[in-house]
Structure 1
Amino acid sequence: MRAPQIIWVVDDDPSVRSGLSDLLSSYDYDVEIFESGASLLEHASEAQPDCIISDVQMPGMSGVEMFLRLLSAGKYVPTIFITAYPTPELQRQAFASGACAFLNKPFMARELTAAISTAVRNVRG
């Protein structure tokens, strides 16, 4: 039996974190939640998830900035960015940084799970 994939969720909105955690857990993912990019970065030295789902716009540090800091530390984790305030510039910036997907809130569960499957499959080959 295969171990569940580990998904880290980072969003400054507690209801989004809780909702994503419940949703992903129902699909048998092992989920850890973080309230900020800084809290995720503190934890990143201790573990390696299979995928990160991150809000783009958060106080203090954007999701893209968090992702770029992970990269500069030598850690690539497939990352899916989510936002309630999409703009073409934000989407361009996310994909230019190396994002696997960019989803507009609200999104369907199947959109998210498909993005996770694609992101993890592309990394594992």
Structure 2
Amino acid sequence: MPAPTNVHIVVIDDDDSFRIATQGLVRSLGYTVAGYASAEAFFDTQSARDADCIISDIQMPGMTGIEMKQRLNEEGAGIAVIFVSAQTDASLPRRVSECGGFILLHKPFHGQVLIDAIHRAIGDLAPQ
């Protein structure tokens, strides 16, 4: 699937190496991308209003990924959120579903798994 040039993807993760690597992967697909070390930093920017898809860790200092999605919901932002987590908490799939998360990926995962999730999340944005 060719990348629509107007799709903006945001990566939010306090793990610098994961965030930077994920931004590189997303950029290599032809999307515009921005990265933030926290949900608070994300909300302090215009990206919070311009994002088409968010890739977010769940466990972060300060606002968690779940809390970030709940705030987006309260603001009426229907942005697809792909959650990623290294935690194996059995309640995570339920919590992601309840907040309206698009999918939960458990770290580590293959890059193609994330690519497929991105394509599904923004599928309705792609030109037909």
TM-score under structure 1 length normalisation: 0.90
What is residue 3 of structure 1 aligned with on the other side?
A: 5
Residue from 44, 60, 73 that aligns with 1:42: 44
Could you tell me how far 1:86 is from its partner in structure 2? 2.5
What is residue 117 of structure 2 aligned with on the other side?
A: 115
> Is the CA contact 2:5–2:31 (under 8 Å) kept in the aligned structure 1?
no
Change (3 A) 1:84 1:2: closer
* Separation in 2, partners of 1:93, 1:31: 26
User: Post-superposition, which runs of at least 4 consecutive aligned residues in structure 1 deviate over 3 A?
Assistant: 44-47
> Is the CA contact 1:41–1:70 (under 8 Å) kept in the aligned structure 2?
no
* Separation in 1, partners of 2:122, 2:41: 23
Specify every segment of 5 or more residues in structure 2 that has no aligned partner in the other structure, as ranges. Answer: none
* Separation in 2, partners of 1:23, 1:119: 16
What is residue 87 of structure 1 aligned with on the other side?
A: 89
SS of 1:69's equivalent in the other structure is: helix
SS of 1:96's equivalent in the other structure is: helix
- The number of residue pairs the alignment matches comes to 125
Specify every segment of 5 or more residues in structure 1 that has no aligned partner in the other structure, as ranges. Answer: none
Change (3 A) 1:110 1:46: closer
Aligned-pair identity (%): 35
SS of 1:102's equivalent in the other structure is: strand
- Please give the per-residue CA displacement for 1:1-30, whole angstroms capped at 9, x wherever unaligned: 942421100001111111101111111121
The one-letter code matched in structure 1 to 2:52 is D
SS of 1:85's equivalent in the other structure is: coil
TM-score under structure 2 length normalisation: 0.88
- Aligned alpha-carbon RMSD (Å): 2.1
